Amino acid sequence: MTHLLFGNLTLADLPHKWFTVGATGSIIAGGIAIAALLTYLKRWKWLWSEWLTSTDPKKIGIMYIVMAALMFFRGGLDALMIWLQQALGSGALPGFLGAAHGYLDASHFQQIFTAHGDIMVFFGTMGFLFGLMNLVVPLQIGARDLAFPFLNSLGFWLFAAGAVLINMFFVIGGDFAASGWLSLPPLSGPEYSPGAGMDYWGWSLQISGLGSLLSGINFLVTILKMRAPGMTLMKMPLFTWTSLCSSVLVVSVFPVLTVAIALLWLDRFFGMRFFTSGFGGNPMMYVNLIWIWGHPEVYILVLPSFGVFSEVVATFSHKRLFGYVSQVFAALGVSSIACLVWVHHFFTMGAGADVNAVFGISTMLIAIPSAVQVFNWIATMHRGRIVFATPMYWFLGFVSLFMFGGMAGVLLATPAADYQLHNTLFLIAHFHTMVVGVGLFGIFAGITYWFPKVFGFTLSEKWGKRAFWLWLTGFFTAFTPLYILGSMGAARRVDSYAAATGFQPLYATALAGGLLIAAAFLTQIVQVVVSILERKQNLAGGDPWDARTLEWATPSPVPFYSFASTPEVRSRDAWWEMKKDGTANAPKKYEDIELCKNTGMAIYLSGCVFLLGFALVWHILWLGVLGLAGAIVCVIVRSFDEHTEYVVTAAEVEKLEKERLGRSPS
């Protein structure tokens, strides 16, 4: 009877360890604080009707970025805990808090690095990227919305449901997966990971992965079908191009991830034999499948950043981008080669010298289009009137890290060297250099660059530059020791090591770097707070950077209808040309604007999917049926709704535009 009601849930799954009690406590306290604040300010209705139910990509973009920042903070705490454990984990030191070495027992340590990886990749970086794409892509192509606004809202809410589910283990269960961020079988199979933590891992990734897939389809269709008249493909801004490449990759490889995790679940739930050691199962097939997704995923994360830098460098050098066509083909080249290199993640599988050589060479090929992009950026800066604003700092930091990490990557692509470096900290240092140095620095540059477009004032340059220097020094302090440790043979994912290895000083240096990065993150929070306080002095007009692309043709903050009249594009750098030939401020012909109504349906639907996921984690039949049926009913109800759009008439637009111009004399 209790199993019928609660599945595998028991009272022992309620929080009772220091970290689950702590996390549950802070989740509840945070929830109460936010609820109290909303009640005090009487903002519940505002939150629901202006934000949560919104289908406006500008608002969904902001929600993505807020969510991603929270998850980034959460993943960052994990990182600090890992650094601290490893700095303390020398065999010469006694452990404390019940651990043999350091302060975390081995299983808890494993859960932390698993959660760190998944949260940073799926919920931190991916969230930031979809946020930026939502904010910028429609404006850059002169569209008022994405192709499918409801699907966009649904994509976000599935992402949010996944984010909640991956943190649910704190509250119910107490254990997360302890098998590494990709959870390779047979370790992740039913024999060795019987607990619910493994299923929290699988279902949070499946749900957020579904959201990513829907968003990928949405951006692909938007970019191909919704461009303003005159904007041919080869007139698109580079950020739109790289977003397109990223979306194509999402659409191509996320289904593979879905299948890989689904098959693993079939093994776990129904006792099937896909990846088991016995009964003919083939664990290496999972490794192949997960990396067929996993390697392109790295490029999904970094391609939009390449696009950000193409915009930033051209804008702040006041020159058109050097080598536009080659830049586009470089992005396309990176995306296609990205799908042909996955075996380099497991040269040690033993596929043989020929297979390894093919994948080693294809991996090295990626260096060519990557270098083309770097040369184009440098050539763009050459003889430009460069303004060293914060986004340019991020760019220069990125170039140094990209070169550094790229070289390490070519080194790792050599199978012979990889046999030595496989699964060492050298690899960890390499991919953090790429994902942080390229992915995150690009995101930071992008957020600084487009912040005034969204909020109407620029971010504090002073605090931005402080954050940059802390990040850069912190990064090198934290990860250079890992390159050295890896070369010395230090394995990844190790919670303790013999004192005789002499690793401890290097681990301690890495911890110091980690603390600098934490300080950098705090500085970024200060940057936002200071910028809000000083917003009156930093008001941005429509075009604070004297920029080049179409998004800057709109006022800042962007009105809900984005463009008062649909822009017509005649050349690359459309806005720059408009400014030059004087058509930028030409009187507009107003038109009726159709926009998508707000709807709570995406929230209800994602809520049902969340219940389904939770039920599958704990094997609660009735809840699963309820969640699934609820989700189906939501889809059916939505499919009957014909009136999902509303019209803002030309007269209303004209009135709103006049009011706006009356307020700001510019």
Partner 1 sequence: MNEIAIEQGRVSDKFVFGFWIYLMTDLIMFSVLFASFAVLRGATFGGPAEHQLYDLANALTETLVLLTSSFTCGLAMLAAYRGKQGQATAWFAATFALGAAFLGLELREFFAFAAAGNTPQASASLSAFFTLVGTHGLHISAGLLWMLVAIAQIRLKGLSPFVVSKLKRLSVFWHFLDIVWIFIFTIVYLMGHML
Which residues contact partner 1 by CB under 8 A?
Answer: 147-148, 213, 217-218, 220-221, 224-226, 251-256, 258-260, 263, 266-267, 270-274, 276, 278-282, 285, 289, 632, 636, 639-640, 642
Give the separation between CA 18 and CA 363, rounded to whole angstroms: 44
State the nearest-atom distance from the C-beta of 343 to partner 1, in Å.
15
Long-range (24+ apart) CB contacts under 8 A made by 576-582 are 576/320, 576/547, 576/548, 576/549, 578/553, 579/543
Of the two residues 28 and 632, which places its CB atom closer to partner 1 in the complex? 632
Rounded Cα distance, 342 and 360, in Å: 10
Q: Least distance (Å) from partner 1 to the CB of residue 232?
A: 17
Query: Per the structure block, which two tokens stand in for 525?
Result: 């929070």
Give the angle subtended at the CA of 597 by the CAs of 596 and 599, to the nearest 5°. Answer: 120
Least CB distance from residue 23 to partner 1, whole Å? 35
Neighbours of 415 (CB within 10 A): 21
Measured from the CB of residue 610, what is the shortest distance to partner 1 in angstroms? 20
Q: Compute the least distance from the CB of residue 635 to partner 1, in Å.
A: 9
**Nearer to partner 1 by C-beta: 145 or 175?**
145
- Bridge partner residues of 593 (DSSP): 648
Tokens of 627: 């969640």
Q: Select 644 or 664, whichever has its Cβ closest to partner 1.
A: 644
For 648, phi and psi rounded to 5 degrees?
Answer: -100, 115
Kindly give, in sequence order, each residue whose CB lies less than 8 Å from that of residue 105, ignoring residues fewer than 6 positions away.
98, 99
Place of tokens 């290097």: 506
Alpha helices in 41-125 (DSSP H): 44-46, 57-88, 106-118
Nearer to partner 1, 217 or 470 (CB): 217
For the record, the structure tokens of 536 come out as 């009156």
444 close to 466: Cβ distance less than 8 angstroms? no
Distance CA 254, CA 90 (A): 40
Q: Where are the alpha helices (DSSP H) in 382-422?
A: 390-412, 415-421
And the tokens for 217? 């389809």
Query: Among residues 278 and 662, whose Cβ is nearest to partner 1?
Result: 278
Question: Identity (one letter) of the amino acid at 26?
Answer: S
For partner 1, the closer of residues 100 and 259 by Cβ is: 259
Q: How far is the CB of 237 from partner 1 (least distance, A)?
A: 21
Nearer to partner 1, 2 or 639 (CB): 639
Q: How far is the CB of 223 from partner 1 (least distance, A)?
A: 12
Locate tokens 């019940």: which residue?
A: 98
Sign of CA dihedral 135, 141, 145, 149: negative
Nearer to partner 1, 210 or 472 (CB): 210
Smallest distance, Å, CB 148 to partner 1?
A: 6
What is the closest distance, in whole angstroms, from the C-beta atom of residue 189 to partner 1 in the complex? 13
Nearest to partner 1 of 251, 410 (CB atom): 251
